[in-house]
Chains A and B, each alone.
Chain A
Amino acid sequence: MEKKVLLGNEAIARGAYEAGCHVATAYPGTPSTEILETIARDYREIRSQWSPNEKVALEVAAGASVSGGRALAAMKHVGLNVAADPLFTFSYTGVNGGFVIVNADDPSAWSSQNEQDNRHLARAAKVPMIEPSNPQEAKDFTKLAFDLSEEFDRPVIVRITTRIAHSQGIVELGERQEVPVKPFVRNPQKFVMLPAHARPRHVFIEEQHKKLKEYSNRSPLNRIEWGNKKRGIITDSVAYQYVKETCPDDSVLKIGMVWPMPDDVIREFAAGVEKLYVVEELDPFIEDYVKALGIPCTGKEIIPICFELTPDIVDRALNGKIKGGAYPKYETNPVPPRPPALCAGCPHGFVFTVLKKLDLHVNGDIGCYTLAALPPYSAMHTQGCMGAGIGMHLGMEKAHGPEMARKSVAVIGDSTFVHSGITPLIDLVYNKGTGTVIIMDNRGTAMTGHQDHPGTGKTLSGEETHTLDLELLVKAIGVKRVVVTDPKNVEELERIVREEVAAPEPSVIISKRKCILIK
């Protein structure tokens, strides 16, 4: 078969293609974005789409699966928080066609607001999770996930991290396996989670969990590589590669299925080595599990819990090797950092120039514009997650009274507004807030590479579609003061912001200008 150099995310797309996947959905988010972009570009056999947010993406994929198709939903780690609600209950219903969720964690928070470890979510949602350690496995495991999903009637999470998603390697390609879409058979006991249906489903999935644990014990996903038995290392994901690089002679237990964990294999491995280590990124997920089995091991005492691992960190922790010193340190002058910044001519820049001048409290959101919290603007004062700024803006007014709304704003991008800014704006109107929201409409999801969304009038595959009219939408929500303006006219923008912030009723300013990077 043909061999190609693929990015981890491209390999996952290929795995879905080879598995005969019918439907793929996502909301863009680094480091997961290229999965759906690749599917839309290279694998037209799969009907693919951007959804307005991850919850909807997961639900569309669930509908495809429950009705008999093979479906994939991809998202970054924090996206799975948004989609956690459907995840936890579709865990109960199980599937019809194979249902795979690709979750991309971001250790070191290279492009994220936190570095949460979503292995915990697999356990909490009682969903099996498998973890590739390189692009070849990314393809193979994704393909396998569809089969596991159907065999065990569970959604399956494929967990990757930035160093899997955004590293390239050689992948041996296979053919697409055509899988017919099964018929949708009405089965409310399985697919309608009334309390009376949910209870027996919980019993059912606990039984499936036991079967999955047996599978985990005999699956080649969890593999012992015996070496020198003085030291045994349990490891998963990309950490496996760092262990193989730096400790080539040691015995290794490679965990490819991290939930449910393979108890028997862990016991066998632990019994076969003199001293047991666990090398994993972020939380002591495997380590705590091993210790709960009553097996002593060394993990987070020597492996950092914060930030991603590197071969150097593993080398130092396990071999005591410290490198550095081949070249002297340059100390004559400070080396200026090169932080990412808003581009010259960025439409967001005009908005923040005004907000800085007026010295308003700015409740920010997720997107390129979050960079306005840094110099030279330093004009963003709160930010948490997608859509949080508008609710926080209302909360400040509730705590301090309406005068707070006279000296603050919420800012949010067009894609983020559609993702999760609409409901908090409804709240602001419903609960009689008087604040101003600036929707910075730059016609796309800029931060992740200008993906389309419902407001751009184009789908993932580039087809024309209905364009969501933000102005009509906010009016329908009940905002009476709505102004659409081009931020390039900074004086006009300043006048509008002054006026709207001063007005004692809810207002929305749609600052509309295309991102300068969109051709």
Chain B
Amino acid sequence: MKNVIFAGVGGQGVILASKILMEVAKNAGYDVKESEVHGMAQRGGSVDCNVRYGDRVYSPLIPREEADFIVSLEMLEVMRKLEYLAPGGRLIVNTEKVNPAPVQTGAMQYPPDLREWISKNVKNALFVDTSGMLKEVGTRKALNIVMLGILSRDLEFTREQWESAIKSLVKEKFLDMNIKAFNLGREYN
């Protein structure tokens, strides 16, 4: 079984990224489950999706220390999910910071040493500056798909399988943009 957590902030497209991964896994013949929380998340709160695929999946929630991957679209959100990462699990982090409300109002500070701390304590962490790739795609909305592309390098599915899943879930007029974003992520090094 493979366990993947997508973490981010409401509006970053965490749910679409997880839907595409599920579609790829389903088409490859796996059982798939996912869990998400709606509602308050729409108002800029933390969002995360648990995706699991394998021969047989029971719980839609990933137990602690069993996530093979955490893909975090925002750096601070890693800290809320790290307890779920398996020992040696892969962490893929977008280095961009989105200030939460208490930071915006000045009540708290955005921890300045997060990246340092994560690098030191999570051996298998990849920090990605997505800004260049997003500029190339032409929209910051493609962040979720760029990150999915980066994740895809570590999963067993082919480029064709990914593209076909994206095609079945993304609106026609956004398709080219999303395919481009995915491939930029997939070719990232």
In Å, the complex CA distance between A177 and B72 comes to 44
Cβ 8 A contact of A166, one of B38, B57, B62, B111 = B38
A326 and B86: CB pair below 8 A? yes
B90 within 8 A of A: no
Cβ 8 A contact of A336, one of B9, B44, B76, B85 = B76
B102 and A30: CB pair below 8 A? no
Which residue on chain A has the smallest CB distance to residue B49? A168
**A-B pairs with lowest CB-CB distance, top 5:** A111-B39, A340-B43, A30-B39, A167-B60, A338-B100
A340 and B58: CB pair below 8 A? no
A451 within 8 A of B: no
B163 within 8 A of A: no
A324 and B40: CB pair below 8 A? no
Cβ 8 A contact of A310, one of B31, B34, B61, B87 = B61
Additional A-B contact list (12), CB under 8 Å, known A168-B22, A169-B60: A167-B60, A169-B31, A170-B31, A311-B62, A330-B114, A333-B113, A334-B108, A336-B111, A338-B76, A340-B43, A375-B101, A376-B105
Binary interface encoding of chain B residues 89-116 relative to chain A, with 1 for a CB under 8 A from any of its CBs, else 0: 0000000000011110101111111100
The number of inter-chain residue pairs (CB within 8 angstroms) is 157
A466 within 8 A of B: no
B60 and A447: CB pair below 8 A? no
Binary interface encoding of chain A residues 360-378 relative to chain B, with 1 for a CB under 8 A from any of its CBs, else 0: 0000000010010001100
A3 within 8 A of B: yes
Which residue on chain A has the smallest CB distance to residue B56? A244
Chain B residues lying within 8 Å of A343, measured Cβ to Cβ, are 43-44
Q: Nearest Cβ in chain B — how far from A338, in angstroms?
A: 4
A340 and B37: CB pair below 8 A? no
Find the residue from A3, A238, A312 having the highest chain B CB count within 10 A.
A312
User: What would be 28 A-B contacts, judged by CB atoms less than 8 Å apart?
Assistant: A5-B19, A30-B39, A31-B38, A33-B38, A134-B33, A162-B37, A169-B57, A170-B26, A312-B63, A324-B64, A327-B82, A327-B85, A327-B122, A330-B82, A330-B114, A330-B117, A334-B108, A337-B102, A338-B76, A339-B102, A340-B10, A340-B42, A340-B45, A368-B43, A371-B43, A375-B101, A375-B107, A447-B42
Q: Which residues of B contact A (CB under 8 A)?
A: 9-10, 19, 22-23, 26, 31-46, 57-65, 76-77, 79-80, 82-83, 85-87, 100-103, 105, 107-114, 117, 121-122
B34 and A169: CB pair below 8 A? yes
A167 and B36: CB pair below 8 A? yes
With A326-B86, A327-B83, A330-B79 already in contact, the answer to whether A340 and B40 are too (CB < 8 A) is yes
Q: Nearest Cβ in chain A — how far from B26, in angstroms?
A: 5
In Å, the complex CA distance between A241 and B121 comes to 32
A341 within 8 A of B: yes
A504 within 8 A of B: no
Which residue on chain B has the smallest CB distance to residue A310? B61
B36 and A339: CB pair below 8 A? no
Q: Nearest Cβ in chain A — how far from B90, in angstroms?
A: 13
In Å, the complex CA distance between A312 and B46 comes to 21
Q: Nearest Cβ in chain A — how far from B51, in angstroms?
A: 9
A154 within 8 A of B: no
B121 and A328: CB pair below 8 A? yes
B58 and A244: CB pair below 8 A? yes
Q: Which residues of A contact B (CB under 8 A)?
A: 3, 5, 30-31, 33, 110-111, 134, 162-163, 166-170, 238, 241-242, 244-246, 310-312, 315, 323-324, 326-328, 330, 332-343, 368, 371, 375-376, 447-449
Q: Nearest Cβ in chain A — how far from B103, in angstroms?
A: 5
In Å, the complex CA distance between A513 and B61 comes to 40
Chain B residues lying within 8 Å of A134, measured Cβ to Cβ, are 33, 60
In Å, the complex CA distance between A244 and B59 comes to 8
In Å, the complex CA distance between A334 and B109 comes to 8
Chain B residues lying within 8 Å of A341, measured Cβ to Cβ, are 43-45, 101
B63 and A311: CB pair below 8 A? yes
Chain B residues lying within 8 Å of A169, measured Cβ to Cβ, are 31-34, 57, 60
B59 and A241: CB pair below 8 A? yes
Q: Nearest Cβ in chain B — how far from A333, in angstroms?
A: 4
Chain A residues lying within 8 Å of B83, measured Cβ to Cβ, are 324, 326-327
In Å, the complex CA distance between A448 and B86 comes to 34
In Å, the complex CA distance between A449 and B107 comes to 29
Q: Nearest Cβ in chain B — how far from A519, in angstroms?
A: 14
Which residue on chain B has the smallest CB distance to residue A334? B108
Cβ 8 A contact of A342, one of B33, B43, B59 = B43
Which residue on chain B has the smallest CB distance to residue A4? B26
A339 and B61: CB pair below 8 A? no
Chain A residues lying within 8 Å of B110, measured Cβ to Cβ, are 336
B39 and A339: CB pair below 8 A? no
Find the residue from B34, B46, B61, B77 having the highest chain A CB count within 10 A.
B61
With A338-B101, A341-B44, A375-B107 already in contact, the answer to whether A3 and B37 are too (CB < 8 A) is no
Chain B residues lying within 8 Å of A339, measured Cβ to Cβ, are 45, 100-102
In Å, the complex CA distance between A229 and B44 comes to 48
In Å, the complex CA distance between A311 and B65 comes to 12
Chain B residues lying within 8 Å of A326, measured Cβ to Cβ, are 65, 83, 85-87
B58 and A5: CB pair below 8 A? no
Chain A residues lying within 8 Å of B9, measured Cβ to Cβ, are 338
A311 and B61: CB pair below 8 A? yes
Which residue on chain B has the smallest CB distance to residue A9? B38
In Å, the complex CA distance between A332 and B31 comes to 41
